[in-house]
């Protein structure tokens, strides 16, 4: 009873390998599908050209047979490469990052696939309608006329298998180069996402500090308002904690956070804070760095509204720009310089995150200093449309 169990145990890794090959074969990216289509077209052109040289004086029926034969040979090659070469590379070659003895195993696999490919090619030539394309009887045309080359089955199989193995080898090199380029691109994207997340997380303590300072000031003025503000702050942080996990958000999500924060500041500043909103409907789903709008609103209140006893305003507006771009602008009035020296950390952080986002994104600051009238401070972000 133990011997059958041992045999079953021995077959288990092989079954797992087959299962892994099968699963990988049906797990493909859009780029790979496009590459496979291109390789099929190039392979067909190559097979068709060779067939044209091998069989001379072809009529319409023979031309159709050569066409179908080229399609079947190309399809056989693509399927063998997809179901055997690609899974083997992904399971045994690419994870190790080096070749070594694996190169010899790979060469052996390619030669075996070359033999299989030749056997399929010979079998295709035996089909009734395609028998005139039988490669066991090849006729070549030259300037001196036609001559016939007869190959024994073994010599045809060995020579043809070697040629097919070389073609599989070229496919392998191209695939490894493509996979290497794709991996580097993915690593770069992951690095940028990681940096974006890190920069986003840096804003959370800064935001909490400002919000708690606002509540601290209210405690001595109106305890009931302070209690209500704490409730609003809890709602704000509930939304904030969900949003800051993603480095990129929509303008609608950003406004939802900024709106909570402005509600808290409205309690403290009362009539000193006036808000103007001009957001075009097609801007709500546009993408921008998470907490970007909140950063600009915080700066506007801290340096423009809070230091002044006179009423001031914050204006938030968006507009579409030519060339598939859009603009988000936050303006604030001010009369006197803030007593709190700015570190420019928020704007510098935001500038870095804009650079890491896809597309061409810029941040511009305009400061119209006041004489006797109210000054205007404006921050404009220009981003690529989603």
- Over residues 290-306, mean pLDDT: 86
What SS3 class is residue 310? coil
DSSP state of 359: S
Residues 138 and 226 occupy one common structural domain: no
Of 9-18, 227-236, 288-297, 351-360, where does mean pLDDT reach its minimum?
A: 9-18
DSSP string, 72-120: HHHHHHHHHIIIIIHHHIIIIITTTT--THHHHHHHHHHHHHHHHHHHH
* Domain CATH for 248: 3.30.565.10
Residues 242 and 380 occupy one common structural domain: yes
pLDDT band at 78 (very low <50, low <70, confident <90, very high): very high
pLDDT at 212 > cutoff 90: no
Q: Which long-range contacts (CB under 8 A, 24 or more apart) does 210-218 make?
A: 210/298, 210/302, 211/236, 211/261, 211/264, 214/264, 214/265, 214/268, 215/264, 217/268, 218/267, 218/268
- pLDDT for the residue numbered 61: 82
Residue 219 lies in a domain: yes
Burial of 113-150, coded b for 16+ CB within 10 Å and e otherwise, reads bbbebbebbbebbeeeebeebbbeebeeeeeeeeeeee
- pLDDT for the residue numbered 199: 54
- pLDDT for the residue numbered 7: 41
- pLDDT for the residue numbered 116: 92
pLDDT at 28 > cutoff 70: yes
Of 29-43, 97-111, 177-191, where does mean pLDDT reach its minimum?
A: 177-191
pLDDT at 181 > cutoff 90: no
Residues 15 and 101 occupy one common structural domain: yes
- Over residues 162-183, mean pLDDT: 89
Residue 68 lies in a domain: yes
Place of tokens 């289509």: 37
Residues 210 and 349 occupy one common structural domain: yes
Domain ends where: 115, 150, 185? Answer: 150
User: CB of 363 within 8 A of CB of 350?
Assistant: yes
| Mean pLDDT over the full length of the chain | 79
Residue 172 lies in a domain: no
pLDDT in tens, 260-273: 888 878 877 788 89
Q: Identify the CA nearest to 324 among candidates 247, 367, 280, 383.
A: 383
Of 19-28, 134-143, 278-287, where does mean pLDDT reach its minimum?
A: 134-143
The DSSP H or E segment spanning 386 is none
* Cβ neighbourhood burial of 386 (10 Å; 0-12, 13-18, 19+): middle
The C-alpha atoms of residue 121 and residue 134 are separated, in whole angstroms, by: 9
Choice between 137 and 330, residue whose per-residue pLDDT is larger: 330
pLDDT at 244 > cutoff 70: no
Residues 380 and 251 occupy one common structural domain: yes
Domain ends where: 89, 115, 150? Answer: 150
Number of neighbouring beta carbons within 10 Å of residue 289: 26
Q: Which domain holds residue 373?
A: 193-384
Residues 129 and 238 occupy one common structural domain: no
Residue 252 lies in a domain: yes
How far from 268 is each of 22, 75, 112, 204, 238, CA to CA, in Å?
Answer: 64, 73, 79, 21, 21
Q: Identify the CA nearest to 67 among candidates 154, 163, 132.
A: 132
- pLDDT for the residue numbered 320: 92
pLDDT band at 319 (very low <50, low <70, confident <90, very high): very high
The DSSP H or E segment spanning 372 is none
- pLDDT for the residue numbered 130: 79
Residues 209 and 146 occupy one common structural domain: no
Residue 157 lies in a domain: no
pLDDT at 113 > cutoff 60: yes
Domain ends where: 150, 185, 219? Answer: 150
Backbone angles phi, psi at 184, to 5 degrees: -65, -40
- Over residues 196-207, mean pLDDT: 55
Question: What global pTM score does this model have?
Answer: 0.51
What SS3 class is residue 26? coil
pLDDT band at 208 (very low <50, low <70, confident <90, very high): low
pLDDT at 203 > cutoff 70: no
Residue 264 lies in a domain: yes
The C-alpha atoms of residue 63 and residue 51 are separated, in whole angstroms, by: 10
Residue 275 lies in a domain: yes
- pLDDT for the residue numbered 76: 93
Chain centre to alpha carbon of residue 129: 47
Residues 325 and 380 occupy one common structural domain: yes
pLDDT in tens, 144-164: 554 444 555 566 778 888 989
Report which listed range, 236-250, 276-290, 339-353, is most confident. 276-290
Of 207-221, 324-338, 345-359, where does mean pLDDT reach its minimum?
A: 207-221
Residues 130 and 211 occupy one common structural domain: no
Q: How many structural domains is the chain composed of?
A: 2
Please report which residue ranges of 222-291 form alpha helices under DSSP H: 223-243, 251-269
The C-alpha atoms of residue 373 and residue 312 are separated, in whole angstroms, by: 12
Residues 88 and 203 occupy one common structural domain: no
Choice between 177 and 223, residue whose per-residue pLDDT is larger: 177
Residues 228 and 130 occupy one common structural domain: no
- pLDDT for the residue numbered 191: 55
- Over residues 292-307, mean pLDDT: 87
Residues 89 and 225 occupy one common structural domain: no
Residue 88 lies in a domain: yes
Q: What share of the chain is helix, strand, coil (3-state, %, to 5)?
A: 65, 15, 20
């Amino acid at each position: 009873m133990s011997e059958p169990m041992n045999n079953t145990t021995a077959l288990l890794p092989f079954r797992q390998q087959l299962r892994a090959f099968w699963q990988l074969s049906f797990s493909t990216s859009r780029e790979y599908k496009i590459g496979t289509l291109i390789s099929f077209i190039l392979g067909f052109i190559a097979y068709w050209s060779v067939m044209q040289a091998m069989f001379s004086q072809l009529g319409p029926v023979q031309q159709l047979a050569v066409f179908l034969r080229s399609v079947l040979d190309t399809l056989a090659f693509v399927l063998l490469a997809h179901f055997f070469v690609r899974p083997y590379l992904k399971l045994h070659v690419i994870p190790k990052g080096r070749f070594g003895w694996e190169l010899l195993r790979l060469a052996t696999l390619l030669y075996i696939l070359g033999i299989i490919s030749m056997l399929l090619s010979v079998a295709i030539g035996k089909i009734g309608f395609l028998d005139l394309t039988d490669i066991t009887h090849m006729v070549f045309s030259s300037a001196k006329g036609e001559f016939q080359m007869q190959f024994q089955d073994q010599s045809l199989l060995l020579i043809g298998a070697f040629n097919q193995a070389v073609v599989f080898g070229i496919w392998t090199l191209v695939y490894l180069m493509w996979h290497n380029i794709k991996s580097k691109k993915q690593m770069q994207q992951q690095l940028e996402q990681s940096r974006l997340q890190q920069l986003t997380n840096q804003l959370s303590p800064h935001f909490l500090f400002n919000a708690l300072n606002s509540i601290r000031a209210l405690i001595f003025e109106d305890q009931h308002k302070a209690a209500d503000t704490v409730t609003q702050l809890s709602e704000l942080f509930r939304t904030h904690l969900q949003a800051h996990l993603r480095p990129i958000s929509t303008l609608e999500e950003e406004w939802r956070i900024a709106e909570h924060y402005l509600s808290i500041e409205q309690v403290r500043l009362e009539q000193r804070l006036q808000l103007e909103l001009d957001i075009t409907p097609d801007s709500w789903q546009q993408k921008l760095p998470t907490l970007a709008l909140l950063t600009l609103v915080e700066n506007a209140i801290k340096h423009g509204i809070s230091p002044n006893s006179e009423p001031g305003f914050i204006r938030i507006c968006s507009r579409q720009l030519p060339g598939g771009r859009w603009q988000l602008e936050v303006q604030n009035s001010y009369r006197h310089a803030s007593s709190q020296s700015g570190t420019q950390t928020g704007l510098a952080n935001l500038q870095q995150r804009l650079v890491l986002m896809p597309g061409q994104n810029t941040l511009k600051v305009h400061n119209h200093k006041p004489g006797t009238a109210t000054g205007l401070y404006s921050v404009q972000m220009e981003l690529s449309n989603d």
